[in-house]
Structure 1
Amino acid sequence: MRDHFQLMADYNRWMNGNLHRAAAALPADALDAPRGAFFGSILGTLNHLVVADTVWLKRFGGEGRDAHWTALQAVAGMPMPPALDARPCADLAQWWDTRRQLDAVIVEWIGQLADADLDQVLQYRNMRGDVQRRRLSHLLLHLFNHQAHHRGQTTTLFSQCGVDVGVTDLLVRLPAIE
């Protein structure tokens, strides 16, 4: 199963690069214009993905686990976002710097996981402070599914602006078997 998560981490980084290229084709005011999306604008939605990934990576590295998974130490000093609609990145350049850092952590951390790690039950607190316990493999499914969900919303917003993000299918990242 670990190889599936490595594939998803690679796909995640690749797709975020595609979103950055699409965003760079628009002026800053178009990125922040209200578009009726759940997080308001393109930049608002991109910020939500940064927020959610930061929250999850900090949870994954919590309670001393970052000593075992050294890649997660890179997010230990980041502040915990106060809300899911927080805007830690004021502009595209800041978003891209943060996004590349988070994607590098995700790829490196997934590469550090052992098969046995995926069965671990992690305890963490949700945004309301309630204690939760879930299997790591299930949380990783959520992490990658959540990213795909909001990237899909973002590609629609780009399309409405006349910007083609290009191919978004995971299929293009799957290794061919000969």
Structure 2
Amino acid sequence: MDAKEHLLTLARYHQWATGHLFLHIQGIPDEDYKKDFGLFFKSIHGTLNHLLVAERLWYNRFAENFSPVVSLDSEVEPDRSRLKEVAIKESGKWETFIKSLKEIPDKLEYSTMRGFQANLPYVLTLAHVFNHGTHHRGQIIAAITAMGYSSPEIDLVYMLQAEERMNTT
């Protein structure tokens, strides 16, 4: 598998896992959904908002060659159902973007949040975007299981198994 195919798989997984997480947490009462559970961004809601902020930040860097200055803990979408809709839509942009690349650049040049210029390996930095989502989805899953709710099964292999079943039927 070449780098582009690998990134496309990670992009599909990113959207799939985001969608599955939102489906799984939809029944969690608002009190628990917004409870400060000691996560880096405090609550499930705060962490999901952070994921949306980061999603947009990195997409701008990759697709628009623009590095906006944002607050990583911003509440950009206070409405829970709207947050779900927007986050799933935004996570789905990556696959289209990666498919549009005629060739993958060696480096991504951007301005960091502190105003420094960065020149990082393109493939590894894009993989970071998806890894970042996995990291924070994992935090959310740890919080919901600690609160006594069941855990969604959103490992990459579950998506691959689902795709395999779809391709063999």
Bucket of the pairwise TM-score, normalised by the shorter protein:
0.7 to 0.9
Alignment of 1:1-178 (within 5 A): 1-63=3-65, 80=68, 82-114=70-102, 116-117=103-104, 119-174=105-160, 176=164
- Give the ranges of 4+ consecutive aligned residues of structure 1 lying more than 6 Å apart after TM superposition: none
Letter of the structure 2 residue corresponding to residue 112 of structure 1: S
Q: CA deviation at 1:163?
A: 2.3
How many residue pairs end up in the alignment?
162
**What is the distance in 2 between the residues matched to 1:32 and 1:91?**
12
Q: CA deviation at 1:90?
A: 0.4
In structure 1, list runs of 5 or more residues that go unmatched: 64-75
Question: What TM-score, normalized to structure 1?
Answer: 0.82
**What is the distance in 2 between the residues matched to 1:93 and 1:138?**
32
Q: CA RMSD in A?
A: 2.2
**What is the distance in 2 between the residues matched to 1:153 and 1:132?**
28
Q: Is the 8 A contact 1:54 1:81 kept in 2?
A: no
Question: What TM-score, normalized to structure 2?
Answer: 0.86
Q: CA deviation at 1:3?
A: 1.0
Letter of the structure 2 residue corresponding to residue 139 of structure 1: T
**What is the distance in 2 between the residues matched to 1:52 and 1:139?**
13
Letter of the structure 2 residue corresponding to residue 53 of structure 1: E
* Secondary structure in 2 matching 1:122: strand
In structure 2, list runs of 5 or more residues that go unmatched: none
Letter of the structure 1 residue corresponding to residue 20 of structure 2: N
Q: CA deviation at 1:122?
A: 1.9
